[in-house]
Amino acid sequence: MAEKDVAGSPAPERLICPVCHENGFESLVTLRSESQTYMECLPFIGVGNKQHIHDSNIRSKEYECSRGHRWVERSSGTCWCGWKGEVLGQTMIIRKR
């Protein structure tokens, strides 16, 4: 029996397992754990009296799909000026379109 997605359930972010996606499998991705660093990153005023927030805290999310593939996705803050947090380490990257 094939399981089907329940239509109409809220999905703010559609998660796709990169391995399953590559192989054409269907799977359900769940968030297993989430963590983040807590550095103090205060907003400051730059040129033109514009506020910058250079938040270099890194949020790590560990995902697992229903076929047992796991990966960690790390993201950090970005600013409108083009500033980015630290270089992100990733294990398996999800491509988004």
> How many residues of this chain interact with Zn ion, rule: CB under 5 A?
11
Among 52, 61, 77, 94, binds Zn ion (CB under 5 A): 52
Cβ-contact 29, 19 below 8 angstroms? no
Q: Does 41 bind Zn ion (CB under 5 A)?
A: no
Give burial (CB, 10 Å; 0-12/13-18/19+) of 26.
middle
Distance CA 94, CA 58 (A): 17
Span from 2-10, 34-42, 58-66, 87-95 in contact with Zn ion (CB under 5 A): 58-66
Which residues sit at the interface with Zn ion, rule CB under 5 A? 17, 19-20, 27, 52, 65, 67, 69, 79, 81, 83
